């Protein structure tokens, strides 16, 4: 029962973890904007989380993984285990030196990520205020 009270906070925490990792990846991309042959990376999280949430709501009877060495069917992960993944774009080059970092795109992504991070912090604070009101009556 108590674990269910913090489900939304735990999900929001995972979003914060993804935003933190995304900030590190974007900062690394910006720092290497002039590095010959450097390939930009991205963090993929929201799509994986949405897919896991969609699968968690299916009424189908799914195969259960009961051991760490079991194969997860169709690459499905339980909703609680979905995390951010760093993906490097090896397929493109925007300059002759092989570097594919677009500084304008990185700055836009950094601004979007900052807004996302602070919005998520605000949501977590709201959840704790609600819990405080429930506790104090």
CA angle 113, 117, 119 (to 5 degrees): 115
Instruction: Say if 29 falls within a structural domain.
Output: yes
The structure's pTM equals: 0.75
pLDDT value at residue 79: 64
pLDDT value at residue 2: 64
**What is the number of structural domains in the chain?**
1
Instruction: Say if 53 falls within a structural domain.
Output: no
SS3 content of the chain, % helix, strand, coil (to 5): 60, 5, 35
pLDDT reading at 75 higher than 60 = no
Instruction: Say if 76 falls within a structural domain.
Output: no
Instruction: Say if 103 falls within a structural domain.
Output: yes
HSE value, Cβ hemisphere, 13 Å, CA-based, for 14: 18
DSSP state of 89: -
CA angle 130, 134, 137 (to 5 degrees): 130
- Domain span holding position 92: 14-45+83-136
pLDDT value at residue 136: 87
The neighbour count for residue 114, using CB atoms within 10 Å, is 14
Q: Tell me the DSSP string of 33-83.
A: TTSTT---EEEE-HHHHHHHHHHHH--S-PPPP-STTSPPGGG---GGG--
Partners of residue 86 on adjacent β-strands: 43
- 99-122 mean pLDDT: 96
pLDDT reading at 17 higher than 90 = yes
pLDDT value at residue 71: 62
Instruction: Say if 93 falls within a structural domain.
Output: yes
pLDDT reading at 22 higher than 90 = yes
Instruction: Say if 54 falls within a structural domain.
Output: no
Instruction: Say if 8 falls within a structural domain.
Output: no
Residue of 113 and 11 predicted with greater confidence: 113
Of the candidate ranges 31-35, 38-42, 50-54, the one whose mean pLDDT is the lowest: 50-54
C-alpha–C-alpha distance, residues 65 and 56, integer Å: 14
pLDDT value at residue 9: 85
pLDDT confidence tier of residue 61, bands split at 50, 70 and 90: low
Instruction: Say if 6 falls within a structural domain.
Output: no
């Amino acid at each position: 029962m108590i674990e269910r009270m913090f489900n939304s906070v735990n999900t929001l925490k995972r979003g914060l973890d993804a935003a933190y990792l995304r900030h590190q990846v974007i900062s690394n991309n910006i720092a290497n904007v002039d590095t010959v042959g450097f390939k930009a990376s991205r963090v993929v999280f929201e799509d994986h989380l949405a897919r896991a949430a969609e699968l968690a709501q299916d009424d189908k009877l799914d195969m259960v993984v009961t051991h760490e060495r079991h194969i997860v069917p169709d690459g499905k992960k339980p909703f609680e285990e979905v995390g951010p993944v760093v993906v490097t774009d090896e397929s493109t080059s925007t300059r002759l030196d092989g570097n594919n970092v677009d500084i304008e795109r990185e700055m836009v992504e950094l601004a979007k990520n900052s807004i996302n991070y602070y919005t998520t912090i605000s949501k977590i604070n709201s959840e704790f205020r609600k819990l405080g009101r429930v506790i104090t009556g």
